[in-house]
Amino acid sequence: MVDITHKNTTLRTAVAQAIVKVSKPETIEAIQNDTVPKGNVFAMSKAAGLLGVKRTPDILPDCHPLPIEYTGVAYEINGLEITVLFTVKTIYKTGVEVEAMHGASVVALNMYDMLKPIDKGIEIHHIKLLNKKGGKSDFKNRFRTDITAAVIVCSDTISGGHKEDKAGKAIIEKLKICGVQTEAYEIIPDVLEVIQNKAKQYQEQGVDLIIYTGGTGLSARDVTPEALGPLLDRRIPGIEEAIRSYGQDRTPYSMLSRSVAGTIKNTLVLALPGSTNGAGESMDAIFPSVLHIFGILRGARHD
């Protein structure tokens, strides 16, 4: 199955349909009057759909087992056609589109089974996804597409030429995927004044996003939070908490990281861990949804 361990848990919703077409008005009347010999068609078919949707990963090998936290079944009658609307919700890392379509299919098939003794001309049509919500695609930045960034690697070892940078390059790649242009990429030593000067420099140049990687640990040379703290107009604890919470689910040492998020005027400043995994996971935790901030800083509404 596809690896979804890097994904965030969000509310996922999907609505699918299936259309059951009968061949004569008498069949519709039997359904409405509850005179179908096999029982109440709508109630029984709904129950079949509820059972079926929970068995989706047992039938489709690439579907991830996931908690089904809401299922809704609705029917619309239009002439000889009955539209089945099947809604599925979960709070999880992956969507429920296939589950919704599977549920709609099972409902339609159960209707077919119950109605075939009284109608030999039943057809099932148009099993399809109507809409879905949730996941990163629904939280992409809707306000600006011209966001610029500076990526700064804080490391005595890397700046001294003793080790190759991988974390900074991983951040740049993540930014590229999110449509953010990296205008500057620098490697500097773990020196408080140098770290502060770079923040001031890029903020004055109008760079929207400054990302530091490294210097957020607890060693004597880890001073990035101390350097940035006095410069920030406002801290954003929610971003910091999201980074650590996401990381803690993947390694027990994330609680030791001192990641920082805040603003200097309209520039967002982030300080992320210096390890490649730590930097990459931090980016996964907050991007692309964090880009929403640039619209808010300029007065846009959250909705």
Which residues belong to the active site? 113
**Cα separations (Å) of 190 from 26, 203, 269?**
81, 20, 17
The three-state secondary structure class of 43 is helix
The two three-digit tokens of residue 102, written as one number: 């599977």
Question: Could you tell me if 279 and 272 are in contact, meaning their C-beta atoms sit under 8 angstroms apart?
Answer: yes
The three-state secondary structure class of 72 is strand
Q: Where are the alpha helices (DSSP H) in 145-298?
A: 156-159, 167-177, 192-204, 224-228, 237-248, 276-286, 293-296
Q: Residue 195: name the closest of 239, 236, 150, 162 by CA.
A: 150
